[in-house]
Amino acid sequence: MKFLENTVNINSGTHNLEGVKKVGLLYKAELDKLGFATRWIEMPKEMKRAGHLYAEIKGNVGKRLLLIGHLDTVFEPDSPVQTWIRKDTVAAGPGTNDMKGGNMVVIYALKALKEAGLLKDRQVIVILHGDEESSGKPISISRKDIIEAAQRSDVALCFETGTGMDYATVARRGSSSWSLTVKGNQAHSGGIFNKSTGAGSIYEASRIIHQFYIELQEQYLTFSPGIILGGTQVIMDSTGTEGTVSGKTNIVPNTTVVKGDLRFISEEQKNRVREKMKLIVTQNLPQTEAEITFSDGIPAMSPTEGNMQVLNQFSKVSEDLGLGSVKAFDPGLRGAGDISFVAQYLDCLDGLGAMGGGAHAPSEFINLKTLRDVEKRTAVLIHRITTLGKIQNKAR
Ligand SMILES: [Zn+2]
């Protein structure tokens, strides 16, 4: 508890590079003691990220395991939320729930196994990212090491915030964005709808967005227009989050720009829906044209058969410890996360971290009473995966 308190009291907002590394080095010392080969992976200076902690033990018994956490929080040094405040069995503070509590689960489960002599000859890689809350760009550099680790592992467990003792995460939706640009003819408003003026860019943009709303809805899919600018002088800045616009009620607008988000449960869903969106965008109102472009963010972690098997194994562990069975958490209720970057390479389970609430909010807290049970379950799950698990359908 004291160790957790220490880590929470060190500010490690993603952009506080020194703080992130300081927290990382505390975990590094613990993993060194357990016999892990540890190293700090630096990111190139221009990426403005602290880097990652990477730790590994080598062996050839059971399945090869990848354990995932992160060092950073959303609370930067200028946030009013800075310190650990404990009241009975609850402690509030930055990262208590997301996810310094989860990192503790990893460290203490491994400590227990080490003391019981059960890490011998196992292959376990621990990676704690310094930039989960705002991943360094390009992703090809900031997520290179975790992808390489995944490619030589069989199962990944991630210790993001728990969603109750009876749930774990077999799927997380991916995130991506889209950008719509609509052009029309600028003319006197009194001439709108006539042959040469047509509908104008705002009507056409409205048609497209409305048709998205009517035609695209399906399970686990969301598509949200986040910002719209329409008129005769439209300037969107390079971040896509700010801009200026001017227009007049007596002028038919010539330009409308919309930027939005698209969340999906599988690559199949993402690609299929993008095709539908493109088709809607081509059915232009008179004298308008429109173009939509897409950019990828975080891939989806799909609810695969393999992930369900890991969940079933976890549920059995929980039952054996008298803690009840564990079900799959609704992926519609969970955002994208780091495990999604590796989900295509191996079987995955997430949401194994600390119980609590208020992640990313000033009220963020951890429920200390459940921590021991969460750690116990994790230790036994790691033991079973790295001992009993036979390698299936994956070449070593
Ligand atoms: Zn997190």
Q: What is the pLDDT of residues 248-259, one digit of tens each?
A: 999 999 999 999
Which residue, 209, 192, 199, is CA-closest to 289? 199
Q: DSSP letters of 273-327?
A: HHHHHHHHHHSPPTT-EEEEEEEEEE--B---HHHHHHHHHHHHHHHHTTS---E
Compute how many other C-beta atoms are within 10 angstroms of the C-beta atom of residue 344. 15
pLDDT of res. 279 = 98
Amino acid at residue number 134: S
Q: How far is the CA of 78 from the centre of ligand 1 (A)?
A: 20
pLDDT of res. 390 = 53
pLDDT of res. 389 = 54
In the numeric block, the tokens 């292959």 are attached to 123
Q: How far is the CA of 334 from the centre of ligand 1 (A)?
A: 11
Query: What is each CA distance from 153 to 124, 281, 340, 377, in whole angstroms?
Result: 8, 42, 15, 21
Q: How far is the CA of 84 from the centre of ligand 1 (A)?
A: 18
Contact by Cβ (8 Å): 361, 161: no
Rounded average pLDDT over 358-372: 94
Give the contacts of 157 (CB within 8 A, at least 6 positions apart).
65, 66, 67, 68, 310, 348, 349, 350, 352, 378, 381, 382, 385
B/e letters for 160-192, b = 16+ CB within 10 Å, e = fewer, are bbbbebebbbbbbbbbbebebbbbbbbbeeeeb
Going by the DSSP 8-state scheme, the letter that residue 393 receives in this structure is S
Rounded average pLDDT over 12-41: 98
Q: How far is the CA of 133 from the centre of ligand 1 (A)?
A: 7
Q: Is the peptide bond before 99 cis (omega within 30 degrees of 0)?
A: yes
Q: How far is the CA of 44 from the centre of ligand 1 (A)?
A: 23
Q: How far is the CA of 162 from the centre of ligand 1 (A)?
A: 10
Q: How far is the CA of 90 from the centre of ligand 1 (A)?
A: 19
Per-residue pLDDT reduced to its tens digit, 95-113: 999 999 999 999 999 999 9
Per-residue pLDDT reduced to its tens digit, 127-168: 999 999 989 999 999 999 999 999 999 999 999 999 999 999
pLDDT of res. 395 = 42
Q: How far is the CA of 344 from the centre of ligand 1 (A)?
A: 20
Confidence of residue 238 (pLDDT cuts 50, 70, 90): confident
Question: Which tokens hold the place of 241?
Answer: 């989050």
Q: Is the pLDDT of residue 313 over 70?
A: yes
Strand order in the sheet with 365-367: 85-87, 90-92, 365-367, 356-357
Question: How far is the C-alpha of 195 from the C-alpha of 334, rounded, in Å?
Answer: 48
Length of the chain: 396
Residues with a beta carbon under 5 angstroms from ion ligand 1: 98-99, 160
Q: How far is the CA of 132 from the centre of ligand 1 (A)?
A: 7
Q: How far is the CA of 353 from the centre of ligand 1 (A)?
A: 9
Q: Is the pLDDT of residue 18 over 50?
A: yes
Q: How far is the CA of 98 from the centre of ligand 1 (A)?
A: 5
**The Cα angle at residue 123 between residues 122 and 125, in degrees rounded to 5:** 135
Confidence of residue 333 (pLDDT cuts 50, 70, 90): confident
Amino acid at residue number 325: S
Question: How far is the C-alpha of 231 from the C-alpha of 254, rounded, in Å?
Answer: 6
